[in-house]
Amino acid sequence: MAARIGILGGSFNPVHVGHVRLAIEVRERLGLERVDLAPCSLPPHKPAAGLLDFALRKRLVELALAAADGLPAVEGLAVNALEAARTGPSYTYDTLLHYRRTEPAAQLFFILGGGDLLTLPQWRRGLELPWLAHFVVVPRDVHDLDDVAAFIAQTWPEATATPPAPPATAAWTFSAPAASTQLVYLPVPRLDISGTQVRQAWRDGKSLRYMLPAAVERELIARREEIDAVWR
C-alpha cells in the first residue's frame, strides 16, 4: 500500500505548539504514516526582515519533535529540510513536485488553513496545486466551511462534491487524465497561537511558556543575542 504522507510547510519563525499539535491531529485523524514539517527557506509572501536563519529554524523544529524531558520523540512527525538547497523564493508548487519525484508512490496530503486556501490565486501556479496532492483544509481562522465551498465552486467549477469519508466534514474531488485528488475540510482542535504573537512577546520580555515546546524556548534563550538581532 502506498505511503500516506502529510506536508505542513511554513516559515516556522519560530515553530510553536500550534504547529506541532496541528500536525499530530491531522496525522491521527487521517491515518497518515507521517507528517513532514518543511521550513521555507525564503517565504515568497512574507518579508525577509525578521526571519531567523534557515538553519536555526530547522534546528528549532528538530528540537520541537525530539525526545526531551523524559518524553519520547513525537511519533510520526519529521523535518524535511529540502528548502536548504533551494535558491530564490520557496514555492509550494516546487515543493510538491519534489515530493512527487522523490516519493512517486506516496499519497501526498498538503495541509493548509482555510484563509490560505482563499489566497491560492496569488500563489505561483496556485490553482494547479490540487492536482499535485490531496489538500487538507483546516479552519485555523475566521473562514469556515461555507467560505471554502464558495471558493471552490467559483475557482474550480469542475471539482465535484463527494461524500466525505470520516472524519472529514466535506470533500471535493479533482479529476485529471492521469490522477484524481481530493480536498477535504477537516476541523481539528485549534491552538490560537501565531509566530507573530511569539515574536512580539519575545520583544516585550513576556513569558513564552506553553506557547513553544520547552526545548525550543530553551534554545531561543540560549541564543538570545542572535535572536534579538533579528527580532528587534
- pLDDT > 90: percent of the chain: 84
Write out pLDDT tens, residues 125-159.
999 999 999 999 998 766 789 999 999 999 999 99
CA–CA gap between residue 130 and residue 133 (Å, rounded) = 6
Q: Which among 214, 215, 210, 208 is positioned nearest to 231, based on CA atoms? A: 208
List the domains of the chain with CATH numbers. 4-231 (3.40.50.620)
45 pLDDT above the threshold of 70: yes
- Of 184, 181, 152, the C-alpha closest to 171 is 184
Phi/psi at 123 (5° precision): -80, 155
100-115 residue pLDDT tens? 999 999 999 999 999 9
* CB-based burial label for 156 (10 Å; 0-12, 13-18, 19+): middle
The H or E element containing residue 18 is helix 17-30
Please state the pTM of the whole predicted model: 0.95
